[in-house]
Amino acid sequence: MNIPVSDLEKVASTARQVAAEAAELVQRMRGEARLLDSKSSATDLVTEADQAAERLVRERLEQLRPGERVLGEELGGDTGTDGVSWVVDPIDGTVNFVHGYPHFAVSLGYQVDGVSVAGAIVEPLTGREWWAASGLGSWCDGAPLRVSAAEKLDLSLVATGFGYTAKRRAQQAAVVTGLLSRVADIRRSGSAAVDLCSVAAGWVDAYAEHGVNRWDYAAGEIIAREAGAVTRFPDHPEDDGLGPYLTVVAAPGIADALFDALREVGAGQVTEA
């Protein structure tokens, strides 16, 4: 996966440009976008803004990078991991968007053979822009990012999230209950993309969640990794006793301790359903 730096710079520039345009559209539609449907459960929502933003992303990518494959949360696409793919979540945190809670973002990642090599995340309300590319570092509004220097799990702040089905939420709640006595505290923003950026910025020391989809983390994966995080994603599961559905991103100083704690509290027993 040796991509010339000049090509990565062009890809990253496209990701930033298109994500910013989509975020501007989402911001304009805020408060006016109709709720269209729900997906896996009554709380897994889709709005007009989700679909409009994804259409815009697809149209702009076809103009700027014609012929490249696109996978999106709302409009689907080829789910294969061979070759090049753009992976888009037009609004990561749609429930927050619907309720007016400020943590949601447009996420646009660029993957080669299923591995993220560039990506951008833009928060419509603040205009805050996060981006990274392999070997080019991780950035927020022009400032370089670096994960925290945390070394003690019991003093660490860990972000998490919850799925949409009752069964999975109950299993996740049991894991979080066990984890609470092993960390300083737990945070829940409602957006995996925002959580991954928060690890990259050192605002939280780690993030762990079951059932995160490829579009949720395609951009955040490279942003966290280039900031120095230890990462584990469902597309690349290891025989580590944590099961196939768990995403973990952590500062290096606490990564091993967090993995051990997650095993001890039964994280590997959480099912896909």
List the catalytic residue out of 50, 54, 92, 209. Answer: 92
Query: pLDDT-based confidence at 37, cuts 50/70/90?
Result: low
Instruction: Find the range with the poorest average confidence among 41-45, 56-60, 212-216.
Output: 41-45
Mean per-residue pLDDT of the chain: 90
Q: How confident is the model at residue 243 (pLDDT cuts 50, 70, 90)?
A: confident
38 pLDDT above the threshold of 60:
no
User: Can you give the pLDDT at residue 244?
Assistant: 84
- Give the predicted TM-score (pTM) of the model: 0.92
* pLDDT attached to residue 105: 97
141 and 31 Cβ atoms separated by less than 8 Å: no
Give the pLDDT mean for 57-86.
88
Q: Which of 14, 47, 94, 231 is catalytic?
A: 94
Residue 232 forms beta bridges with which residues?
A: 248
185 catalytic per annotation: no
Confidence of residue 121 (pLDDT cuts 50, 70, 90): very high
Nearest to 143 by CA among 134, 131, 135: 131
Q: Which of 16, 54, 252 is nearest to 133 (CA)?
A: 16
Report the Cα–Cα distance between both ends of the chain, in Å, rounded.
34
Q: What's the number of CA atoms in the CB half-sphere (13 Å) around residue 97?
A: 29
What gap in Å lies between CA 40 and CA 46, rounded to an integer?
11
Encoded tokens for 218: 């395609």
CA distance 255 to 205: 9
Per-residue model confidence (pLDDT) at position 272: 66
Which pLDDT tens digit goes with each residue over 155-211?
A: 999 999 998 888 888 999 999 999 999 999 999 999 999 999 999 999 999 999 998
Active site residue 94: yes
Are 64 and 14 spatial neighbours (Cβ–Cβ below 8 Å)?
Answer: yes
- Which one from 73, 123, 205, 209 is the annotated catalytic residue? 73
Contact (Cβ atoms closer than 8 angstroms) between residue 137 and residue 9: no
Predicted local confidence at residue 33, as pLDDT:
59
From the list 50, 91, 195, 223, the catalytic residue is: 91
Please check whether residue 250 is in contact with residue 199, taking contact to mean a CB–CB distance below 8 angstroms.
yes
Domains of the chain: 5-144 (3.30.540.10), 153-269 (3.40.190.80)
pLDDT of residue 235: 63
Active site residue 91: yes
Catalytic residue among 54, 74, 89, 221: 89
Confidence of residue 44 (pLDDT cuts 50, 70, 90): very low
50, 129, 209, 216: the active-site residue: 216
**Which tokens sit at 8?**
């990565």
Residue 216 designated active-site: yes
**Active site annotation includes 239:** no
Q: Is pLDDT above 90 for 54?
A: yes
